[in-house]
């Protein structure tokens, strides 16, 4: 992707979109990349964001056996995003991760040339021992999660420095328990599935807690960075949790929960709060609309917040029988958009 100079400020539109397994590779029964190209490109053009946060962007290997985001580059070709600045999650060698990369595309330059990543780095020595595994685990081992936090900083010409925290929390699918799966989709016992589901919940809430710790360090400062009580922060992404559930409540840190009015400046405001309940969903599961994709903003950004919307008019429930990806090639999530005025 080439990069051009910023083209002025004006109003700012920020969007988050779980683009669902963006890759050239195709699993049996799924829609090919070429079949997805047109509807996804149409959706990206409709979003028309100044800052676009994506989840589930897979990498591809080039002729030199190095990983790239070639599928994403091809997707945004011919759109405004092809000239945006880009930051994304990487492995220790600086290459994009094999699967589920977090990506931020921005019309505005990044004030920090390298994003920060956290993957159970702010929560250390979290231990767990399975109770249903076969064979039984004799000792507890460190519990980590495979989906990192991506923290970017953007230099907005009018609003100043903006922290963008892009997330994809652990899914609601049960984590694997050793020796307790008959096959990929079949469990050997209800207790094992229950433990796997419990373990996924721990990981999801652990990621949320790590995000909250990161937020507190931004407000309070560290040895390397000064405190910034008025930091402008946007936390967005697929949280795999609805409003009121533990991960969302943990990240928001509301005064209702802390019972401490002096901490109000640290609490985040859900942009979805102003949406009518009838349209407040970004995903379907078994006929029920769920709000799994979120935009949470700091108190300091609230004066500039000008409304939100979810582009869910064409969203379909792929969990129902005969609802295959080939019928709905875009994504099983709807984009969430927040508007700001400077």
What pLDDT does 94 receive?
92
What pLDDT does 10 receive?
55
* DSSP 8-state class, residue 101: E
Has this prediction a pTM greater than 0.85? yes
Average of per-residue pLDDT across 261-271: 98
What distance in Å separates the CA atoms of residue 249 and residue 233, rounded to the nearest whole number? 16
Average of per-residue pLDDT across 220-228: 90
Residue pair 153/162 in contact (Cβ under 8 Å)? The answer is yes
Q: Write down the domain spans for the chain.
A: 12-340
What pLDDT does 328 receive?
72
SS3 263: helix
What pLDDT does 128 receive?
94
The hierarchical CATH code for the domain 12-340 is 3.60.10.10
In tens, the pLDDT along 98-129 reads 999 999 999 999 999 999 999 988 998 899 99
Residue 3 has pLDDT above 50, yes or no: no
Residue 331 has pLDDT above 70, yes or no: yes
What distance in Å separates the CA atoms of residue 327 and residue 320, rounded to the nearest whole number? 12
Average of per-residue pLDDT across 133-154: 93
Residues 6+ apart with CB under 8 A from 338: 13, 14, 15, 234, 236, 271, 295, 297, 305, 307, 308
Average of per-residue pLDDT across 132-158: 93
Average of per-residue pLDDT across 210-217: 98
What distance in Å separates the CA atoms of residue 35 and residue 322, rounded to the nearest whole number? 18
In tens, the pLDDT along 163-205 reads 999 999 999 999 999 999 999 889 999 999 999 999 999 999 9
What distance in Å separates the CA atoms of residue 124 and residue 307, rounded to the nearest whole number? 38
What pLDDT does 322 receive?
53
In tens, the pLDDT along 33-90 reads 999 999 999 999 999 999 999 999 999 998 888 999 999 999 999 999 999 999 999 9
What distance in Å separates the CA atoms of residue 49 and residue 26, rounded to the nearest whole number? 28
What distance in Å separates the CA atoms of residue 25 and residue 246, rounded to the nearest whole number? 35
Residue 258 has pLDDT above 90, yes or no: yes
Average of per-residue pLDDT across 143-166: 95
């Amino acid at each position: 992707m080439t990069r051009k100079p910023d083209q002025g400020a004006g109003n700012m539109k920020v969007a988050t979109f779980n683009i669902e397994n963006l890759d050239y590779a195709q699993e049996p029964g799924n829609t090919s990349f070429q079949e997805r190209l047109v509807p996804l490109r149409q959706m990206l053009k409709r979003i028309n964001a100044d800052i676009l946060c994506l989840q589930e962007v897979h990498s591809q290997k080039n002729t030199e056996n190095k990983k790239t985001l070639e599928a994403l580059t091809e997707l945004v070709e011919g759109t405004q995003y092809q000239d945006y600045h880009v930051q994304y999650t990487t492995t220790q060698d600086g290459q994009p991760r094999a699967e589920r990369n977090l990506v931020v595309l921005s019309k505005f330059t990044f004030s920090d040339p390298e994003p920060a990543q956290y993957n159970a780095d702010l929560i250390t020595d979290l231990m767990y021992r399975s109770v249903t595994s076969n064979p039984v685990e004799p000792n507890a081992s460190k519990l980590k999660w495979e989906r990192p936090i991506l923290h970017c900083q953007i230099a907005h010409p009018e609003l100043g420095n903006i922290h963008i925290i892009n997330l994809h929390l652990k899914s609601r699918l049960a984590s694997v328990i050793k020796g307790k799966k008959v096959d990929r989709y079949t469990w050997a016992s209800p207790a094992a599935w229950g433990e796997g589901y419990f373990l996924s919940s721990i990981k999801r809430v652990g990621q949320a807690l790590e995000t909250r710790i990161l937020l507190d360090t931004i407000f309070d400062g560290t040895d390397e960075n000064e405190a910034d009580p008025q930091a402008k922060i946007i936390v967005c992404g697929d949280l795999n949790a609805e409003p009121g559930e533990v991960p969302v409540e943990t990240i928001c840190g509301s005064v209702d929960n802390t019972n401490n009015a002096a901490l109000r400046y640290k609490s985040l405001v859900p942009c979805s709060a102003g949406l009518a309940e009838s349209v407040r969903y970004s995903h379907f599961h078994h006929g029920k609309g769920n709000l799994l994709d979120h935009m949470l903003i700091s108190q300091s950004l609230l004066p500039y917040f000008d409304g939100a919307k979810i582009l869910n008019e064409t969203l379909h429930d792929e969990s129902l029988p005969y609802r295959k990806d080939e019928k709905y090639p875009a994504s099983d999530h709807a984009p969430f958009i927040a508007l700001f005025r400077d």
